[in-house]
Structure 1
Amino acid sequence: MTASFAQRCGIHDAAREDALQRAEQAIAAGGLELVRFAWCDLHGVTRGKTLVASAAAQAMRDGLGMVSTLMLKDTSDRTAFKVFEPGGTASLPGFGFANNLLLLADPASLRTLPWTPATGWVRAQPWFEDATPVELDTRRVLERALERLAGRGWGLRCGLEVEFHIYRITDAGDQLDPAQAAWPGLPPRVELVHPGYNLLAENWYDMAEEPLRIVQHTAQALGLPLLSLEIELGPSQVEAVFQATDAMTAADNMVLFRNGVRQALRRAGYHASFMCRPPFPNIMSSGWHLHQSLVALDGGANLFRREQPEPGATPAQARHTLSALGEHYLAGLLEHARGMAVFCTPTVNGFGRFRPNALAPQAVLWGRDNRGAMLRVVGACGDAGTRIENRIGEPAANPYLYLASQIHAGLDGIERRREAPPATEAPYATGGVMLPTGLGEALAALRQDEGLVAAFGAPFIDYFSRIKQCELQRWEAAEDKDDFQRREYFSRF
């Protein structure tokens, strides 16, 4: 019998065969007519193909063709490499002339989509046709980072707090008018679902309950560990909080949540935006706060937990709350903060959030339960929930790259046994090391960070930088910056 493509890739074992058979049974039992094969691109957007249900199982064995230029797109969907010119993809082995990649789906990821009838969904990743993995795929980047942790017997546990905006669509004409079609196109016209400036207001929650119910039902139907939905300070701004999971599950959940609720809300006449700062004069920036702790793979113990403060340590010292391992990890996050910033905040728009007294960070600092600091240490001695919260992320970040950057930075701090400075009590004071103030500065900081370049690999850093540089160049050339952000981010993210 000829080996399937999945077998040639070395991933089709007995467990995968069992999962595939269960998926086939679920497709039949659920009366599914279509199955979407979805892949997360560099920008955190899901792409893929939709198959009739009878073709899904075979595609999970033999792969599904995908044009390789999908991995080379910037945020406008323009290809950042000259794929049809000699040497245009010389830095990208396996790519060229818009050749094919093959998507292989994980049958265990099958879900029934709650917002569209008789449709299943599976998560897929790209492979080269010679059955070798595409290492530039961002989910594979996180897999490699987690392998570094697993080699030490550790895993990463993450909790997500995600702020975003929901608007009611008043007129989709601009977006769907063929006479105004452009690349990229306009978003729909919208109005607020609550007026804002009344944090956690029950009245505003009641006003926004219809779209928040859609978010709730969508997340729960997809099996996501949603804990709460909250009214944030800004007009039409909300927050979703999720129970902590292992890092890969957290990243997968973020991809599914972000893309799923946008589609479900759109069908009901709403526009959800995970853009940090929507293009309106009176808004509040949205952040993605990432809670993290290292855990033992054997038993799940929290490796940041300390039973008693280190003798002589003051509350301003990390070892008053964190284990020695936790302090080294914290110090690594601080030392690589400028280099990792572009993975946490990857858009031109997101850097507008870093401003004083805005519950957002501005400098490379940590604090004990301090929401103005970049890193917030949460917990106390004996607390199994002791963790570090990174507050520099924007909700449009690619989850796999965001989490991978934490692992590589934290591990470097551990390997070099770095010590953290004292906690800040003045997160907006002047004179400290500042976070990058724009995409160009952030890209330069990444390229200058030798530790992160080595951890991610120079080929990936070059690839990522090339694509983000195209976005930056178009931003710098745009005469109307607001129009750029409406089309580039608000319409698509």
Structure 2
Amino acid sequence: MRVVPIQLGRIVPLDSRHVLQQAVQRLVERGWQMRCGLEVEFHIYRLKDPLHGHDLDPDRAGWPGPAPEVSLIHPGFNLLTEAWFDRAEEPLRIVQRTAQALGLPLISLEIELGPSQVEAVFDVSDALTAADNMVLFRNATRQALRRAGYHATFMCRPPFEHIMSSGWHLHQSVCEQATGRNVFMRDAPAPGSSPLDALQVLSDAGAAYLAGLLAHAPALTALCTSTSNGYGRFRPNAMAPQSILWGRDNRGAMLRVIGAAGDAATRIENRLGEPAANPYLYMASQIHAGLAGVDAQLKAPEATETPYSPGATLIPTSLANAVRALQKDPTLCQALGQPFVDYYSTLKLAEHQRLAQAEDAQEFHRREYFGRI
């Protein structure tokens, strides 16, 4: 992960890892460091044809190629049951051993609610290490499982009728480099603050960072949910966000504030992301939006207790809408660099256009995402 793309003696500005390095440098200049914990949902299936992808039949060639035929490793809708874990133990052990062999800080690996859905949780690390870990985990997991006759996919919504969407929840805080103190932590609730006030839990800087994430959420969506497939997740009563809101212990909110006054583990959980997102862009977007809130001393609204109530500003409902929001956000365009935003927008609008022109949307999702990510 130390490769730096160079062209004519200069770093290529379109390199996503360099984009994150630039964002991290903004924190370093303030004496801060971002700390990230990863909570990643994905799906594992058993290949019906173990030779899929190995026989390379020229009659099956295409772009994208045909997706594999699969069966479930567990039926779902029975969270954390021993019986379902027993069915899924072999592929989960493969994932566990692979992550450990790579030195990844895997904390837990468990059955999730959806059929064939699982969740991996990783310990906190600095932003660049966390992003590198996500890249390694996805690639190694897919390769190791394929060798054993399984298919792992990090697409948000696999192309089947009875599924649960997968999300990538990013737990983030900012610490002082010199002392390790959590910048988001508040020693005591602000005088006169209510339980729904961000200053009940977060420091002034933490509350402003939260407000920055909310203020720039439409643009952030293009970087946190970077495939057309991921936008089917934003629906009510699906343990996923629908509107640009924050809450305390409510999994329907886009952002959750976890912790309490005096808790060194106080953090913000962003539930906007999908597991297929580019981790470098996901994390860079958080830094830029959060610092914009800090610099402008933005005030966070009250927390929500009813995240699906009408009236709140909705998360963009398509990749195209999210990209247009990014293009119209001068703060993020300046922070990321206009050449990068133009390049990224061109790629993602073309992806959206391919879906719009597809004769069979379901087949598009199978070929574009299920067999490839």
1:149 aligned residue (11, 14, 27): 27
RMSD of Structure 2 on Structure 1 (CA)? 1.0
Q: What's the CA shift for 1:131?
A: 2.1
**What is the number of equivalent residue pairs in this alignment?**
371
Match of 1:449 in 2: 329
Once the two structures are TM-superposed, the CA of residue 132 in structure 1 deviates from its matched residue by 1.3
Q: Which amino acid aligns with 2:104?
A: L
Structure 1 CA distance for aligned equivalents of residues 170 and 212 of structure 2: 16
Instruction: Give runs of aligned pairs for residues 453-464 of structure 1, distance below 5 A.
Output: 453-464=333-344
State the partner residue of 2:290. 410
Partner of 2:368: 488
Counterparts of 2:169 and 2:64, CA distance in 1: 29
Q: Identify which of 36, 48, 52 aligns with 1:170.
A: 48
Alignment of 1:369 onto 2:249: yes
Equivalent position to 1:467, from 326, 347, 354: 347
Is there any run of 5+ residues in structure 2 with no aligned partner, and where?
A: none
Instruction: Quote the residue 1:280 is aligned against.
Output: 160
Structure-2 residue corresponding to 1:304: 184
For the pair 1:347 / 2:243, whether they are aligned, the reply is: no
**1:360-390 deviations in whole A, cap 9, x for unaligned?**
0000000012111000000011111000000
CA distance in 2 between counterparts of 1:483 and 1:448 reads 32
* Higher RCO, 1 vs 2 (CA within 8 Å, ≥6 residues apart): 2
* Alpha-carbon contact 1:174-1:188 (below 8 Å) kept: yes
Contact 1:366–1:424 (8 Å) recurs in 2: yes
Deviation at 1:172, TM superposition (A): 5.0
Distance in 2 of aligned mates of 1:414 and 1:469: 31
Note if 1:234 corresponds to 2:114: yes
SS in 2 for 1:243: strand
Report the CA distance between 1:230 and its aligned residue: 1.0
User: What secondary structure does 1:206 align onto?
Assistant: helix
Whether contact under 8 Å (1:366, 1:374) holds in the other structure is yes
Q: State the TM-score, normalizing by the size of structure 1.
A: 0.74
Judge conservation of contact 1:174–1:180 (CA < 8 Å) in 2. no
- The match for 1:378 is 258
Q: Which residue of 2 is the match for residue 223 of structure 1?
A: 103
Distance 2:49 2:58 in 1: 14
Cα distance, 1:155 vs. partner?
0.8
Match of 1:434 in 2: 314
Deviation string, structure 1 residues 127-164 (Cα, Å, up to 9, x no partner): 11x32111110000000000111111111000000000
Q: What amino acid does structure 2 have at the position aligned with 1:242?
A: F
Report the equivalent of 2:4. Answer: 125
Q: What residue number does 1:327 align with?
A: 207
Secondary structure of the residue that 1:413 maps to in structure 2? helix
Give 1:181 deviation, angstroms: 0.8
- Residues 1:138 and 2:25 are matched in the alignment: no
- Give the Cα separation in 2 of the matches to 1:319 and 1:414: 14
2:36 alignment partner AA: C
Maintained 8 Å contact 2:50/2:149 = no
Q: Which digits, 9 at most, give the CA deviation of each residue in 1:338-377, with x for residues without a partner?
A: 0110100010100000000100000000001211100000
Note the C-alpha offset of 1:125.
2.8
Secondary structure in structure 2 of the residue aligned to 1:364: coil
Question: What letter is aligned with 2:34?
Answer: L
Specify the code of the residue in structure 1 equivalent to 2:329. D
- TM-score normalised according to structure 2 size: 0.98
Secondary structure of the equivalent of 1:389? strand
Q: Which amino acid aligns with 2:30?
A: R
Amino acid at match of 1:205: F
- Displacement of 1:300 in angstroms is 1.2
Q: Partner of 2:134 in structure 1?
A: 254
Q: Deviations over 1:308-360 (max 9, x none)?
A: 10011011000000000000000000000001101000101000000001000
- Partner AA of 1:459 in structure 2: P
**Residue 204 of structure 1, aligned match among 81, 84, 91:** 84
User: Structure 1: which amino acid aligns with 2:5?
Assistant: P
Q: Which runs of 4+ in 1 moved over 6 A?
A: none
Match of 2:22, as an amino acid? Answer: R
